[in-house]
Amino acid sequence: MAEQQTAIIDVLVVGAGPAGATVAIEAASAGRSVIIIDEQKAAGGQVWRAKSPAILSAPPTPESRAGDDLRQRLSTSEAVCLFDHRVWQIQPVDDGWMVALTGSKGPKTITAQTVVLATGAQERIFPVPGWTLPGVIGLAAATALMKGQMILPGQRVAVAGVGPLLPFVAHEIHRQGGEVAFVADLNGFADWSKRIPQMLRRPDLALRGAGWLARLRAAGIPLLYRHGIRNITGDGKVERVEVGPVDDQWKPADTKATRSFDVDAVCLGHGLAPATEATRMLNCRHHHDPALGGWHVTTDDLGRTSIAGIYACGDGAGILGAAAAPVRGRNTALAVLADLTDKARPPHSSATGNLRSVSAFGRAMTSLAIPRDGILDQITPETIVCRCEGLTRADVEAGITSGGISPNALKSDTRCGMGPCGGRFCQETAAMLTARLTGRRVEDIGLPTGRPPLRPLAIEVVASDFDYDELPIPAPAPL
Amino acid sequence: MSDIYDIAVVGGGIMGSGAALRLAEGGMRVVLLEQGDIGQGASGVNAGTLSLQIKRVKLMPYALRGHQEWKRMGAEVDYRETGGYTLAFTDREADLLHERMTMKQEAGAPISFISPNEVAVREPGLCRKVVAASRCPSDGFANSSLTGRYYRHRLKAANIDVREHCSVAEIHRDEPGFTLQTSTGPVHARRLLLACGGWLKQAAGMIGLDLPVRARVNTVSVTERGPRLVSSVIGHATGLLTLKQKGNGTVLIGGGWQGLGQPGEGGNRGRVDAESVLPNLRLARYAVPGLKELRIVRSWTGFEANVPDFYPLAGAAPGVEGAFLLGCVRGGYTIGPFISKLMGDFILGRETELPLFDPARDFTKEIQL
Ligand SMILES: Cc1cc2nc3c(=O)[nH]c(=O)nc-3n(C[C@H](O)[C@H](O)[C@H](O)COP(=O)(O)OP(=O)(O)OC[C@H]3O[C@@H](n4cnc5c(N)ncnc54)[C@H](O)[C@@H]3O)c2cc1C
């Protein structure tokens, strides 16, 4: 049966990226009992991801250095780390929150007075024809592959989408010896240059970005602004991709001006969206702010959600980027510590650090990826929208026009979002299609109900080792 | 008051939708008010089991007729008449099984007992620890996710005025009937049918009734797609397991394990209790060992209302002329399409094929039908 832990801890942090790890370090140093959980094997999250042992000798980058520093501070703190563990359920109990998780030793529950959700962001990918072919990979996923294991997504790669990961991924592929066929950015040069003042708040990052672009250009790699992928084709895997110009709403324009490239992989991504599955499951209040990545949990300045005892910080509470994450973590630690001390009357703690200034760069990057309505026009009726269930745009639209106009109803009617990914890859497209077809705004469409498990739960792990006679079988129903 | 409906039906679950259809067929001008989407309450999240083996003895005639309705609804609700087995793994469970299934047999269900060996031959994916089993060939399942889509189309075709995302907050008596204050404005109707599922207590409170209605919070889980493990509906002698594998390979696991929360609380759909979903999965895994290869992708809950005697409320609202109640039907997904028709007939002043369940009864006494 589940390994039971009797003592109630003070703080449980889910997610060991820069935000969550900072909360854990701060709360532990204030003498609180802290457990921090992450499904990865080490702290660092997506951005400061730890390298796999196989590539430890690779030269350090600013990210790997920041990550090493964070891992060092966390390991010397009193916080207990549970890596390689997955939280699947969080539920209220009398004295706080019961968190159910699985790890190498099977299922486990932990009870905590407060829970901090620092579960970060997830990759947003809008469908294009052919995007489900093997060889198409998300920009963030490609980043993880290259940072963690120095594995290239392919030998000749198309890099397309929006946001700062475009030049980063293209440059990494090039640096690690791969060939970049082209970089296609839905944004125009003007979209980028508008953000230069904000970007210059972090001259180091701005310079690095400029350096990447310069090197890509010097290598003769076509940098196609205001261009998007029209089509990815191949026999069972990516072989060819077609790109073409888009207008300022990202709608495909001028169909004659398309170009084809032979490639063996496509890195495709459209920015990041805050992870909401845990906060939706807990019924926390959410709101929609395109400038912060769309739907995210509503918090005060210090990360308090609408539910007492549940906190959120980092990109999950609105995308502000890596530099802001530790500051948000510190602020949330303040709130947690203050509330634990005086539960009856939450004292007024004030935020530390200037979140505005550290987040200026992140905000600029997030704003580059705010989806524009024309992106829907790259999705042909036959294009798969919900990969898990194999539903095309036409299928989803048929569900909407026949009356499935709320996320839950559309899900029931068509199965869109019902598969193992839990809607992570189709929910936003489905909501934008619903908005367009019903003449409403995306923020009026809402979110589907969040349900456990937060990650698919192996029956083997939670339901194999038990004694039949000890199943807590209630009295049978009345005859 | 220019726009007065013959009847306002509150609640767009299987009960409200089914009754609305019958009432419209009978010539009434019907408005149906639903706080969320049609068929997204219990009727859209239930396990979809259409099993006579888990029906109460006195409800058997209703369940048998319910099955006929499901047969008619057919492919549009993904109805499958797969047959079903109920299993006992211990001698005590075997006794329970014999006692219960014999009574259900006598009440008209085509249930028979079969040997563990025969079970093993017919359902090789089941564990070999079965000590006794019963079988009912007319058991099966439908896909409850499709309830909303199915009824939305039918209600529309019947010209019923359906208002989704319209929640009823207050009900006032006036001439010639009722005024309902809703989130999208007032609605006037001569009659009123409250078919509010788990929310029936709150709704009945709006017409001054204090009903002893409580909501159970049932849990269902579903796996990812997997190879074929079973082909019929699998139950357990205690009723605490219902399991079926859908056409797409996913396995649906239920059995009335209780979650947390109450109607009206945050989210309004209840929440899963890890402490009860795990024993549910263990029982399922025990019965069908092959489940160990699969992962659960989602567990969820829904509200199922009941009164102390666990029989339906179906009839006139006590002391409120022109108002009617329909809810608290155990196994209501199975029985819903039939009992909602009866309810419609009753309101239309017709004779009902089977008796209804008077909400004014004494809930502490055994029911007389
Ligand atoms: C998880 C679960 C599993 C189940 N499994 C099975 C099974 O396998 N087989 C079986 O036969 N039965 C099963 N049942 C029982 C069955 O689902 C119910 O008996 C049946 O669906 C009840 O239908 P209903 O219309 O009364 O309720 P609901 O479907 O809940 O409909 C009530 C509707 O009223 C609306 N409403 C409430 N208050 C208001 C208001 N003030 N204004 C407007 N609208 C309002 C609600 O939003 C809701 O849509 C299960 C139930 C649950 C919860």
> The domain spanning residue A288 has which CATH number?
3.50.50.60
- Check whether A325 has a pLDDT greater than 60: yes
Q: Which two tokens stand for residue A358?
A: 């550290």
Mutate to test the pocket of ligand 1, among B40, B46, B207 (most ligand atoms within 8 A of CB): B46
Taking contacts as CB-CB distances below 8 angstroms, the residues of chain B near A107 are 278
pLDDT at A342 over 80: no
Mean pLDDT of A43-62: 78
Q: What is the pLDDT of residue A63?
A: 83
Cβ contacts of A448 within 8 Å, gap of 6 or more: A280, A407, A408, A411, A417, A423, A427
A136 plus A223 within the same structural domain: yes
In one letter, which amino acid is A458?
A: A
- Of all residues in chain A, what percent carry a pLDDT higher than 90? 78
| pLDDT of A352 over the 70 cut | no
The predicted model gives A125-149 an average pLDDT of: 95
Lowest-confidence region among A146-150, A176-180, A382-386: A146-150
In a domain, A453, yes or no: no
pLDDT value at residue B104: 97
pLDDT number for residue A344: 52
pLDDT higher than 70, residue B126 = yes
Would A231 be classed as within a structural domain? Answer: yes
Same domain, A281 and A356: yes
Per-residue pLDDT averaged across A114-133, rounded?
97
Among the partner-chain residues A107, A406, A422, the one whose CB lies closest to the CB of B37 is A406
pLDDT tens figures, A369-410: 999 999 999 999 999 999 999 999 999 999 999 999 999 999
Q: Assess whether A277 and A265 both reside in one domain.
A: no
What is the structure's pLDDT at A356?
Answer: 82
Contacts of A207 (CB under 8 A, 6+ apart): none
Do A407 and A316 have their domain in common?
no
Residue A345's pLDDT band, with cuts at 50, 70 and 90, is low
In chain A, which among 279-318 make CB contacts under 8 A with chain B? 281, 283, 307
B261 lines ligand 1 (CB under 6 A): no
* Ligand 1 center from residue A207 Cα (angstroms): 59
Inter-chain contact A412–B44, Cβ cutoff 8 Å? yes
pLDDT of B274 over the 50 cut: yes
Q: Report pLDDT for B266.
A: 78
- Residue B369: pLDDT over 80: no
Q: Which of B49, B333, B357 should be mutated for ligand 1, with most atoms under 8 A from CB?
A: B333
Same domain, A63 and A183: no
Radius of gyration, alpha carbons of chain A: 23
CB contact under 8 A, B295 and A473: no
Number of domains chain A is built from = 3
Q: A135 in a domain, yes or no?
A: yes
B37 CA: nearest ligand 1 atom: 49
A384, part of any domain = yes
Could B238 and A452 be called an inter-chain contact, meaning their C-beta atoms sit closer than 8 Å? no
Q: Evaluate if residue B85 carries a pLDDT over 60.
A: yes
Measured N-to-C along each axis, helices A18-29 and A62-76 cross at an angle, to the nearest 10 degrees, of 30
CB-CB neighbors (< 8 A) of A404 in chain B:
37, 148-149
Q: With H, G, I as helix, E, B as strand and everything else as coil, classify residue A353.
A: coil
pLDDT at B152 over 90: yes
Domain check: are A203 and A264 in the same one? yes
Please check whether residue A372 lies inside any domain of the structure: no
Do the Cβ atoms of B149 and A415 come within 8 Å? no
> What is the per-residue pLDDT for A271?
95
Residue A373 is assigned to a structural domain of this protein: no
Which of B271, B280, B311, B366 is the best substitution to test chain A (most A C-beta atoms within 10 A)? B271
* pLDDT band (50, 70, 90) for residue B1: very low
Lowest mean pLDDT of A459-463, A473-477, B189-193, B286-290, name the range. Answer: A473-477
pLDDT at A147: 85
How confident is the model over B318-365, as pLDDT tens digits? 999 999 999 999 999 999 999 999 999 999 999 999 999 999 999 999
Cα–Cα distance, B165 to A284 (Å, whole number)? 21
The reply to whether A261 and A133 lie within a common domain is: yes
B333 Cα: distance to centroid of ligand 1 (angstroms)? 8
A29 and A85 housed in the same domain: yes
Q: How confident is the model at residue A1 (pLDDT cuts 50, 70, 90)?
A: very low
Do A140 and A262 belong to one domain?
A: yes
For the whole prediction, is pTM greater than 0.90?
Answer: yes
Quick check: CB of B14 below 6 Å from ligand 1? Answer: yes
Q: Is the CB of B337 under 6 A from ligand 1?
A: no
**What order of strands is seen across the sheet that includes strand A156-162?**
A136-138, A265-270, A156-162, A179-185, A223-225
Q: How far apart are CA A205 and CA A361, in angstroms?
A: 9
Other Cβ atoms within 10 Å of B121 Cβ, number:
10
Mean pLDDT, chain A, as a whole number? 92
State the pLDDT at residue A294: 97
Residue B368 is predicted with a pLDDT of 81
Q: Which residues of chain B from 179 to 218 reach within 8 Å of chain A, CB to CB? A: none
Pick from A270, A242, A286: nearest CA to A372: A270
Considering A338, A365, A392, which residue would you say is the last residue of a domain? A365
Q: Which residues of A touch B103 (CB under 8 A)?
A: 479
- B29 has a chain A CB within 8 A of its CB: no
Domain residues for A193?
127-269
pLDDT of residue A202: 87
Distance CA A329, CA B342 (A): 60
Query: In this predicted structure, what is the pLDDT of residue A158?
Result: 98
Task: Name the more confident of A48 and B263.
Answer: B263
d(CA A311, CA A301): 11
The residue with greater pLDDT, A150 or A161, is: A161
The CATH number covering residue A390 comes to 1.10.10.1100
**What pLDDT, on a 0 to 100 scale, did the predictor assign at position A5?**
56
Q: What average pLDDT score do residues B87-107 get?
A: 97
pLDDT digits (tens, 9 = 90+) for B292-326: 999 999 999 999 999 999 999 999 999 999 999 99
- Same structural domain, A296 and A335: yes
Q: How far is the CA of A357 from the centre of ligand 1 (A)?
A: 51
**Ligand 1: does its nearest atom lie under 6 Å from the Cβ of B253?**
no
Model confidence at A413: pLDDT above 50: yes
**pLDDT at res. A4:** 54
Sort out which chain B residues have CB atoms less than 8 A from A449's CB and list them.
267, 269, 300
The pLDDT score that the predictor gives to residue A348 is 53
Which pLDDT value is given to residue A7?
85
Tell me whether residues B57 and A466 touch, CB distance under 8 A: no
Chain A touched by B337 (CB under 8 Å): no
Average pLDDT over residues A230-254: 96
The larger pLDDT score, comparing residue A232 to residue A359, is at A232
| CA end-to-end span of chain B | 41
Q: Inter-chain contact A404–B146, Cβ cutoff 8 Å? A: no
Q: Is residue A85 part of a domain?
A: yes
| Residue A64 confidence (pLDDT) above 60 | yes
Of A321, A343, A365, at which residue does a domain stop? Answer: A365
Is the shortest distance between the CB of B195 and ligand 1 below 6 Å?
yes
Nearest to B65 by CA among B331, B307, B306, B305: B331
The answer to the question of residue A416 being in a domain is: yes
Considering chain B, what percentage of its residues have pLDDT values greater than 90? 96
Are residues A404 and A345 both part of a single domain? no
Q: What is the mean pLDDT of chain B?
A: 96
The residue among A330, A365, A400 that closes a domain is: A365
Pair (A48, A94) in one structural domain: yes
